[in-house]
Chain A
Amino acid sequence: MRKTFVALTAMALVGSAAMFVAGPRLAGAQGGGTVEVDVKYNGAPVVEKLKVNKDTEKCGTETAIEKVVVGSNKGLANAVVSAPNTKGAKPVKGMVDQHGCKFVPHVSVMTPGELELKNSDDILHNIHTYSTANPAINKAQPKFKKVMTEKFEKPEIIKLTCDVHSWMQGWVAVVPGIAAVTDGNGVAKLENVPAGKQKIEVWHETLGKQDKDVDVKAGQTTKVTFEMKGK
């Protein structure tokens, strides 16, 4: 409780200070700044463990569905952090590998365009997306089809599943703007964010969405902290 209070106060201070400093200036016409986003979660990690009954030589005999991963200092990993309204972001090609009967990385970001799907397991997987804005896909990727490329043109956070191995779950965030995924410590850096007032969004697969307006200064690193709430 106290910690939350401290964090909130700190955030408010940083925020108002940033606004006070950056306020009068025109939004960054020349160059951008970095936004370092710190995503915190006060709850416990959620991990479901289950026995594997097939393909054990590739998938192991036990696997875990990591729904909430909390690192050191309450940092929440696998959250998508983005500045969705930024334009002209450097195109980022999506890349997901199916390795050890897991989607690696578990959460990734891409700009609208191509997603490369690798199968390095040498067994059958199927890419089953639960996309609605983009065409829904359910395509087999047998062992000999090492790479498959799919197109996702519309902004959307897409769930990836594999019906052959029902525990496999992954997420690909198609974001037109600048985006990143938090690391094991709950930190993500958004680089080259145009200076000025920017909406920063955080999304997590089970903890939902939050956003904040942040004033970005060219050539400087602005820190912002989000506190995710359990559902």
Chain B
Amino acid sequence: MAGIRIAAALLLLAGAAPAWAQDANAGKAVYERKCLLCHGEKGDGKGPSAELLLPKPRDFTRGLYKIRSTVNKTPTDQDLFRIITEGMPGTSMPAWAVLPEKDRHNLVAYIKSFAPEVFKEAPKKLELPKEVSSSEASIKRGKEMFDAIECHKCHGTEGRGDGPSRPELKDEWGHPVAPANLTKRWTFRGGRARTEIATRLANGVLGTPMPAFLEAVEKPEDIWHLTNYIVSLGPDSPQPATLVTVSAVRDAIPDDPGADFWKKITPSNILLEGQVIVDPRNFNPAIDLVSVRAAHNDKEIAFHLTWDDPAESKGDGKATFPDAIALQFAPQQPPGTERPYFLMGDATDGVYLLRWEQGKGVTEVSAHGPTKLAPIPGGEAAGKAVFKNGQYALVMKRPLAAAGAERPTFRPGVFTPVAFQAWDGGAGETGPKMSLTSWYYLRLEEPQSNRKFVIPPVVALLTFAVLGMIVRAARSRAIQ
């Protein structure tokens, strides 16, 4: 399949290239409307928004391009066209497929004109080794290679971008650069397709620490085994949820985040974004996803949260702070759809936070805005966190019922508003500098509902009875 696609791309490249008449002057007009604000008038990546963005906008004057299908420095026109069209996931570069194709081709010509000397050298196409489809054996070999060539130095033992070299990495402009989290394929700058991953491995990512591995693996096909292993590390997309279902159980709920009990519950993935309403604003949030599992019995409710964080941080109080996470609820189930302001409530309507902080453990907090937090005394909340290979796993527990106006009581079957907040203290996040969500829903399953076993037979029997009566009535009329 991918082979056919490559062949098709090559055909396009060979056959259709002359048809793409490129006009750098026309491209300049498009550039000024669509690209200038980030990439700058001179193409040096110093547009008005540049200081707020991470990764920084590309500096075209150096002619260094991360994503290319060539072995030398020069990308093909198609490489540039593809990045313009599809954007760069995980960065501020959007997909410009909305622009007419002609405009995008003209843009390619204009962008090249910022570094004409680089494009004097003809692009030399990379020849990928013969594709190896994924199999258990291939993934196993890929893992062996992953260890042998020490991908973990940057990408971490389980691929979460948490390797020991991570803090030292810089790009050729001297900006810090984070190694890819291999378990989040949807953030891969050059795309998540297998051919793309194999190309990045073989070619490296120019201008960044990621080296070319084509000649550095034992056999050329190891590139594909590595690709298959990387693909096996995580899902294709985050599959975000809007509802967190709290499973009903009869037995005690384990405190240990690593217990098998939690593995049986399907997680709900919640996307988090930067807080940009109050100062300090967080334009480049560190934590973008929290996986939530939850369960309750007749006494307590427990939340199991996992999220990626490259390093456990207790904080030095100056540049780094303790890692933290919080679940936010309305103190009382609000009437109708009304609820407190999503950003930790306001002066009149406060929120209840079930919060965990590195070094402090689980606390219950009442908030009236992101800077007005007050601990609620005398709670029974507890929890346990484990940090391993760039990931936190945390269990927070609390009784279902609660006394007082500041704590909510959880009731089965009710759609309860919930919101999430997270802080990567190691990245300098604390206070309002966080990643967060607006309101989602949480629902406690009704305990051991047997509806689905009772209702269907009743419906079937009723239908059967009605049909029988119709047949009998019809036949008796026919005889008359």
Chains A and B touch each other in the complex, with CB atoms below 8 Å apart: yes
A residues with a Cβ closer than 8 A to B are 53-54, 123-124, 126-128, 130, 135-136, 138-145, 148, 163-166
- Which A residues are in CB contact (< 8 Å) with B164? 53-54
B338 at the interface (CB under 8 A from A): no
Contact of A142 with B150 at beta-carbon distance under 8 Å, contacts A54-B164, A165-B165, A166-B168 already known:
yes
Question: Interface readout for B214-232 with A: 1 if CB under 8 Å, 0 if not?
Answer: 0111100000000000000
* Cβ of B400 to closest chain A Cβ, rounded Å: 45
Q: How far is the CA of A138 from the CA of B168 in the complex (A)?
A: 16
Selected contact of A138 from candidates B72, B150, B153, B204, CB within 8 Å = B204
Q: A124-B149, A136-B64, A144-B148 are in contact. List 12 more A-B contacts (CB 8 A).
A: A54-B164, A54-B165, A124-B150, A126-B209, A138-B212, A139-B204, A140-B212, A142-B149, A142-B217, A148-B215, A165-B168, A166-B168
A sample of 24 inter-chain contacts (CB < 8 A) reads A53-B164, A54-B165, A124-B150, A127-B211, A128-B209, A130-B172, A135-B72, A135-B73, A138-B204, A138-B209, A138-B210, A138-B212, A139-B212, A139-B215, A140-B213, A141-B216, A142-B150, A148-B215, A163-B169, A163-B209, A163-B211, A164-B153, A165-B165, A166-B169
Looking at chain B, what size class is its interface with the partner chain? 20 to 34
B107 at the interface (CB under 8 A from A): no
> Whose C-beta in chain B lies nearest to the C-beta of A53?
B164
* Cβ of A166 to closest chain B Cβ, rounded Å: 4
- Which A residues are in CB contact (< 8 Å) with B215? 139, 145, 148
Q: How far is the CA of A215 from the CA of B154 in the complex (A)?
A: 53
Contact of A126 with B211 at beta-carbon distance under 8 Å, contacts A54-B164, A54-B165 already known:
yes
- Which B residues are in CB contact (< 8 Å) with A128? 209, 211
CB-contacts of B147-186 with A (<8 A): 148-150, 153-154, 164-165, 168-170, 172
- Which A residues are in CB contact (< 8 Å) with B172? 130
* Cβ of B149 to closest chain A Cβ, rounded Å: 4
B216 near A145: Cβ-Cβ < 8 Å: yes
B residues with a Cβ closer than 8 A to A are 64, 72-73, 148-150, 153-154, 164-165, 168-170, 172, 204, 206, 209-213, 215-218
Contact of A166 with B170 at beta-carbon distance under 8 Å, contacts A139-B212, A140-B211, A145-B216 already known:
yes
A142 near B212: Cβ-Cβ < 8 Å: no
- Which A residues are in CB contact (< 8 Å) with B153? 54, 124, 164
Selected contact of A140 from candidates B73, B149, B169, B170, CB within 8 Å = B149
- Which B residues are in CB contact (< 8 Å) with A144? 148, 218
Cβ-Cβ contact count across A and B, 8 Å cutoff: 68
- Which B residues are in CB contact (< 8 Å) with A123? 150
* Cβ of A134 to closest chain B Cβ, rounded Å: 11
> Whose C-beta in chain A lies nearest to the C-beta of B216?
A140
- Which B residues are in CB contact (< 8 Å) with A124? 149-150, 153
- Which B residues are in CB contact (< 8 Å) with A53? 164
Q: How far is the CA of A151 from the CA of B154 in the complex (A)?
A: 27
Q: How far is the CA of A165 from the CA of B170 in the complex (A)?
A: 11
A163 near B165: Cβ-Cβ < 8 Å: yes
A139 near B211: Cβ-Cβ < 8 Å: yes
- Which A residues are in CB contact (< 8 Å) with B64? 136
* Cβ of A142 to closest chain B Cβ, rounded Å: 4
- Which B residues are in CB contact (< 8 Å) with A148? 215
- Which B residues are in CB contact (< 8 Å) with A143? 148, 150
Q: How far is the CA of A166 from the CA of B209 in the complex (A)?
A: 10
Sorted nearest first, the 4 A-B pairs with minimum C-beta distance are A163-B209, A124-B150, A166-B168, A54-B164
> Whose C-beta in chain A lies nearest to the C-beta of B145?
A142
Q: How far is the CA of A106 from the CA of B1 in the complex (A)?
A: 49
B73 near A136: Cβ-Cβ < 8 Å: yes
Contact of A142 with B169 at beta-carbon distance under 8 Å, contacts A123-B150, A124-B150 already known:
no
Selected contact of B216 from candidates A135, A142, A164, CB within 8 Å = A142
Contact of A138 with B165 at beta-carbon distance under 8 Å, contacts A124-B149, A124-B150 already known:
no
* Cβ of B311 to closest chain A Cβ, rounded Å: 11
> Whose C-beta in chain B lies nearest to the C-beta of A138?
B211
* Cβ of B125 to closest chain A Cβ, rounded Å: 15
* Cβ of B431 to closest chain A Cβ, rounded Å: 29
Q: How far is the CA of A130 from the CA of B217 in the complex (A)?
A: 23
Q: How far is the CA of A141 from the CA of B64 in the complex (A)?
A: 22
- Which A residues are in CB contact (< 8 Å) with B148? 142-144
> Whose C-beta in chain A lies nearest to the C-beta of B217?
A142
- Which A residues are in CB contact (< 8 Å) with B217? 142
- Which B residues are in CB contact (< 8 Å) with A130? 172
> Whose C-beta in chain A lies nearest to the C-beta of B152?
A124
B154 near A164: Cβ-Cβ < 8 Å: yes
A138 near B206: Cβ-Cβ < 8 Å: yes
- Which B residues are in CB contact (< 8 Å) with A126? 209, 211
Q: How far is the CA of A210 from the CA of B147 in the complex (A)?
A: 47
